[in-house]
């Protein structure tokens, strides 16, 4: 039980230099070293339900092994903390911080922790003491001495205000929101490291986040945390972000054998991808800015000011596709951008990191951590909008085209290029509602032309009928000289002045082979009467003419 606990606490190989010891031997050594347990206590199997608790000479304050170990680990991460903070972090259900103070007292007796000051509101600040303290904490955390940083000696003398704000940030992440119904926390104090330094290219400058948070279990391989107590000018806070970008731009050689035959320039990978694998979102690892120690309005203005000043580092680049006619819409590429999320410590403590407290720079509103880490204005979102736009335009086009359906055959044109054709053949204009398709247009032109021709013909016929009616009637049948209306032989033109019979009678004579018609010659009396006044016989002139052409002596009859 104890062994298992120490294993979990210390990692699989807590004691590298003494690897020749067996696991149980290593455990015993560790417990001696770190927790100052007696040999008997280590050997004794713990009874069910019993929390290891033994008041003995080694730990006169009566603290438990587990708690001392946890306190060392927490101080190893936080560097400086109050008993109150340790209590909230390590035993949040406890009514008071008495147990923590007992553990700190015992650890102090062994020279592993020390206090050298008070916070502004008079809480003792505790830190690890000396090499022994760092090593003990390192064993608990499973970290080598080189990763343990310093002891923050003296930090408590000035109240350690910045460290306290960082601690409260860590506490909010671990514990979740304090408001009723607020989201819970994520991870433990061990998800954090503080005072980690990352050297920038060139080696002289460094990036030093206040906290490095790792929560791969929720898909956040790493989050850099900056805690700002409103003591720096916004420009100085903003200046941190280009430095992060510079840091994240650094690439290292990639030894992936799959890349072996590529140019060596292509065989590189961002170092942070190796350090914190599992990064899936566009852009570099994100940075969270937590501001505090000012009123809500001042803090809001501060976050805005920092966002404006650091835009170049987080904004990405704007892209559009001109042929999409998207009215200026586009998306952002974050290849070389540091995603920044921002909140106040007060909001964070109230609602927790999973509550809607984060403002993602470049986006509206406040979001939960995972929402905020999703980049705004992504290509995917743009593609969706563009698709919706195209669908809408297509629908509108189709509706418009339906209004242009051919008046005759009802065919709907496929596209706007369909045109109505004018009466002068090629003269064209955009097809309008009520127009016709080209085929129907041609048929219609044809129909109209035939109609015009038929009308003209009818007019001509009427004129001929009227003119023929004015002439003398048919000699034989006394009908119209033009013939019976609508009969097969009816004259469609005016009858000539020498016509004597209607076409039907002409045809009948031909059939009966009667020979040419010769009118009766004028009698003597008629000739005398004609000298006095014009005769009203319509055939008079023809009879006179026939009498000359066919003298009576020639006539058969
Ligand atoms: Zn048509
Ligand atoms: Zn006739």
Only one residue has tokens 């009723």, namely 180
Q: Which own/partner pairs from 398-406 qualify as long-range (CB within 8 Å, at least 24 positions apart)?
A: 403/433, 404/431, 404/432, 404/433, 404/435, 406/435, 406/436, 406/437, 406/440
Quick one: pLDDT at residue 275?
A: 92
Ligand nearest the Cα of residue 507 is 2
Quick one: pLDDT at residue 518?
A: 85
pLDDT tens, per residue, the chain with 557 residues: 344 444 444 444 444 444 455 554 554 455 555 554 444 444 333 333 333 434 556 777 878 888 999 999 999 999 999 999 999 999 988 889 999 999 999 999 999 999 988 888 889 999 999 999 999 999 999 988 878 877 777 776 777 899 999 999 999 999 999 999 999 999 999 999 998 899 998 888 999 999 999 999 999 999 999 999 999 999 999 999 999 999 999 988 877 777 667 776 677 889 999 999 999 999 999 999 999 999 999 999 999 999 999 999 999 999 999 888 888 899 999 999 999 999 999 999 999 999 999 999 999 999 999 999 998 888 999 999 999 999 998 899 888 888 888 889 988 877 655 455 556 655 555 567 888 887 888 899 899 999 999 999 999 999 999 888 888 889 889 888 888 888 888 888 888 888 888 999 988 888 888 778 888 888 888 889 988 888 888 888 888 888 888 876 655 54
Task: Give the chain's largest Cα–Cα span.
Answer: 182
Q: Separation of 530 CA from ligand 2 center, angstroms?
A: 27
Quick one: pLDDT at residue 15?
A: 42
Ligand nearest the Cα of residue 500 is 2
Sorted by where each begins, the domain ranges of the chain are 1-158, 160-378, 381-444, 518-557
Ligand nearest the Cα of residue 468 is 2
Ion ligand 2 neighbours, Cβ < 5 Å:
474, 476-477, 501-502, 505
CA-to-CA dists, residue 98 to 68, 88, 503, 540, angstroms:
13, 12, 139, 155
Q: Separation of 431 CA from ligand 1 center, angstroms?
A: 12
Sequence-distant (6+) residues with CB within 8 A of 407 are 434, 435, 436, 440
> Exposure of 290 by Cβ count < 10 A (0-12 exposed, 13-18 middle, 19+ buried)?
buried
What are φ and ψ of residue 350, in 5° steps? -75, -40
Q: Separation of 408 CA from ligand 1 center, angstroms?
A: 5
Q: Separation of 541 CA from ligand 2 center, angstroms?
A: 19
> Exposure of 226 by Cβ count < 10 A (0-12 exposed, 13-18 middle, 19+ buried)?
buried
CB 441 within 8 A of CB 422: no
Q: Separation of 399 CA from ligand 1 center, angstroms?
A: 18
Ligand nearest the Cα of residue 478 is 2
What's the rounded Cα separation, in Å, for the pair 170 and 299?
Answer: 19
Q: How many helices and strands, by DSSP H and E, does the chain display?
A: 20, 17
Question: 313-324 burial, b for 16+ CB within 10 Å, e for fewer?
Answer: bbbbeeeeeeee
Q: Separation of 435 CA from ligand 1 center, angstroms?
A: 9
CATH architecture, domain 1-158? Orthogonal Bundle (1.10)
Taking only Cα atoms into account, the Rg of the chain, rounded to an integer number of angstroms, comes to 55
CA-CA-CA-CA dihedral for 433, 439, 440, 442, to nearest 10: 110
Q: Separation of 409 CA from ligand 1 center, angstroms?
A: 4
pTM above 0.75, yes or no: no
CB 2 within 8 A of CB 31: yes
Question: 124-154 burial, b for 16+ CB within 10 Å, e for fewer?
Answer: bbbbbbeeebbbbbbbbbbbeeeebbebbee
Quick one: pLDDT at residue 57?
A: 61
CA-CA-CA-CA dihedral for 426, 430, 433, 438, to nearest 10: 30
Q: Separation of 527 CA from ligand 2 center, angstroms?
A: 27
Quick one: pLDDT at residue 78?
A: 94
Q: Separation of 81 CA from ligand 1 center, angstroms?
A: 86
């Amino acid at each position: 039980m104890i062994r298992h606990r120490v294993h979990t606490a210390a990692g699989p190989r807590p004691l590298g230099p003494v690897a020749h010891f067996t696991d149980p031997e290593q455990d015993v050594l560790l417990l001696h070293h770190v927790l100052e347990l007696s040999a008997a206590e280590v050997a004794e199997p713990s009874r069910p339900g019993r929390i290891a608790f033994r008041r003995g000479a080694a730990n006169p304050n009566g603290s438990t092994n587990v708690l001392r170990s946890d306190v060392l680990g927490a101080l190893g991460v936080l560097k400086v903390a109050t008993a109150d903070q340790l209590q909230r972090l390590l035993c949040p259900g406890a009514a008071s911080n008495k147990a923590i103070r007992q553990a700190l007292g015992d650890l102090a007796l062994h020279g592993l922790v020390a206090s050298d000051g008070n916070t502004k509101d008079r809480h003792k600040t505790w830190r690890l003491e000396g090499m022994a303290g760092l090593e003990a904490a390192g064993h608990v955390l499973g970290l080598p001495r080189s990763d343990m940083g310093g002891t923050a000696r003296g930090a408590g003398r000035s109240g350690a205000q910045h460290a306290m704000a960082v601690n409260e940030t860590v506490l909010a992440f671990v514990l979740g929101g304090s408001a009723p119904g607020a989201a819970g926390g994520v991870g433990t104090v061990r998800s954090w490291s503080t005072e980690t330094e990352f050297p920038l290219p060139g080696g002289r400058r460094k990036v030093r986040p206040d906290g490095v948070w790792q929560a791969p279990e929720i898909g956040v391989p790493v989050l850099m945390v900056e805690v700002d107590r409103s003591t720096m000018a916004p420009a100085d806070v903003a200046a941190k972000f280009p430095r992060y970008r510079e840091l994240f731009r650094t690439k290292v050689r990639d030894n992936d054998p799959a890349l072996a035959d590529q140019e060596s320039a292509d065989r590189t990978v961002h170092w942070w991808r190796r350090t914190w694998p599992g990064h899936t979102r566009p852009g570099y690892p994100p940075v969270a800015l937590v501001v505090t120690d000012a009123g809500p309005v001042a803090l809001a203005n501060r976050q805005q000011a920092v966002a404006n000043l650091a835009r170049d580092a987080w904004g990405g680049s704007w892209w559009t596709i001109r042929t999409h006619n998207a009215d200026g819409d586009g998306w952002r590429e974050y290849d070389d951008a540091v995603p920044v999320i921002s909140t106040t410590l007060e909001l964070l403590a109230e609602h927790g990191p999973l509550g809607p407290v984060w403002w993602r720079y470049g986006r509206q509103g406040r979001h939960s951590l995972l929402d905020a880490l999703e980049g705004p204005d992504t290509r995917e979102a743009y593609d969706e909008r563009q698709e919706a736009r195209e669908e809408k335009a297509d629908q509108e086009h189709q509706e418009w085209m339906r209004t242009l359906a051919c008046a005759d055959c009802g065919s709907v044109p496929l596209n706007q290029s369909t045109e109505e054709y004018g009466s002068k053949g090629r003269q064209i204009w955009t097809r309008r509602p009520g127009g016709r398709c080209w085929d129907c247009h041609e048929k219609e032109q044809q129909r109209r032309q035939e109609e015009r021709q038929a009308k003209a013909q009818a007019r001509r016929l009427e004129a001929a009928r009227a003119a023929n009616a004015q002439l003398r009637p048919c000699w034989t049948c006394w009908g119209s000289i033009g013939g019976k209306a609508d009969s097969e032989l009816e004259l469609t033109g005016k009858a000539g002045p020498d016509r004597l019979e209607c076409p039907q009678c002409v045809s009948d004579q031909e059939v009966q082979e009667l020979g040419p018609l010769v009118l009766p010659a004028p009698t003597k009396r008629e000739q005398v009467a004609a000298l006095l006044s014009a005769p009203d016989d319509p055939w008079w002139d023809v009879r006179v003419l026939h009498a000359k052409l066919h003298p009576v002596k020639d006539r058969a009859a």
